[in-house]
Structure formats: structure tokens, C-alpha cells
Amino acid sequence: MSRVFLFALTAALNPSLLTATTVMLLLPNPKRLMLGYLAGAYTTSVIVGVAVVEWLHNSGVIALIAAVVVGSGSLARRRERRKLKRGDEHKKPPRWQRALSGGSPKWAFLVGVLLSFPGASYLAALIEIRKQNLGFAGDLLLVIVVTVIQFALLEVPLIGFALAPERTTTAIDRFKRWMARNGAEAIAIGLAVIGAALILLGALTLVA
């Protein structure tokens, strides 16, 4: 069972989620955007998670899906490196980022749906859930718990809005000013920290 939560924590260290959260925090009315995105992310993660755990009984099939996800991620990174080598550093922001910048919760919901298909860590958590043989109710509960952990980057500021709206708004205003001065460096450091954490968690998983 501990491996389920370990993989859930690994899934939370998602560079795309970090970028999307940062983009939404810098826009007007971030709370509405983040709620829309989170609703879409929950929808995809829970539906796909339950489908994988309940219907794909053959772990070899799940492992194959995980391999495809990891492979597609590697291909995406290689394509990005090739673009940079061609001097394409000034390309337009991704389409999903431009959609979020429009400020519509409906678009944020759609982006959340599309960007939240399971990655390798989430699939690994689902495999571990399947091994527990908890029945449908237990599987569903664990899928929901893993999903909630996976999107902690979004949930923490939303909890702040709910419990201390004024202080959270003030903190976000400070964050916007700070990002205006140090944005590129901060994102680079954040991605580096996430990368290091993923390597460490992967090593711990192998040891366990």
C-alpha cells in the first residue's frame, strides 16, 4: 500500500502541472481558472484510473501503456531539443497555455481534461492499487485519494482561497510581482528540483 502513495507523490511532481498552475496564478481571477482546471483534471484522472484498475486485469497491458507514455514523453523532449537547435526559442506559447490566458473557466476545464491523462507514475500507482484486490469500492476510494494527492499543486492555493481569501490574494499579488522579476529563473529552478526529486523517488522505489 505504501507504494501507492509513493507513486502518487511522484505523480504530483508534474512539470506540466507546475507550468499550468504558475500561468493561472499570474492571470486575473486565478481561483475560477484553477477550479475549472481542477474539475477537468479530476474528471480525466478518476475515469481513466477506475477504467485501468477495473478493466485492464492484465498487468502486462498496463506495463505496455506505461512504456508508451514514457516513450512518448521522451520523444516530446527530443523534439523540443531539436527545435531549440534550429533556433526556434521564440516560438509561440503552447495552445493550451494560450487557452488558459483567455481567462475562461470552461477553457480551463477543457485544458485540465486534456493535460491530465495518466503519466507513468500515475499508471504505476494504478498497478499497485490493482494488486490490493480491494473490490470496486476500495479501488474507487484509492483512485480518488491518489488523484487528490496528484493535484496538490492546484489544491493548496485553492484551500488558501477558501480559508484565508484576503491573505491568499495578498500572497498571490506578491508572487506575481516576484515572478515579474525572477520568473524564468524560478521556473527553471522549480523544474530542476522536480527532476531531482523524481530521480530520488525513483531510486527509493527501486530499493523498496
C-alpha distances in angstroms, 120 versus 23, 123, 157, 160, 200?
24, 5, 26, 30, 16
pLDDT in tens, 128-172: 898 888 888 999 999 999 999 999 989 998 999 889 888 888 888
What local confidence, expressed as pLDDT, does residue 73 receive? 45
Distance, CA of 160 to CA of 149 (rounded, Å): 16
C-alpha distances in angstroms, 195 versus 106, 190, 207?
31, 9, 19
pLDDT in tens, 182-198: 656 666 666 566 666 65
Do the beta carbons of residue 100 and residue 27 sit within 8 Å? yes
What local confidence, expressed as pLDDT, does residue 96 receive? 80
Whether the pLDDT of residue 72 is over 50: the answer is no
Whether the pLDDT of residue 60 is over 80: the answer is no
Q: What's the mean pLDDT in 53-76?
A: 55
What local confidence, expressed as pLDDT, does residue 45 receive? 93
Distance, CA of 24 to CA of 154 (rounded, Å): 10
What percent of the chain shows pLDDT beyond 90? 20
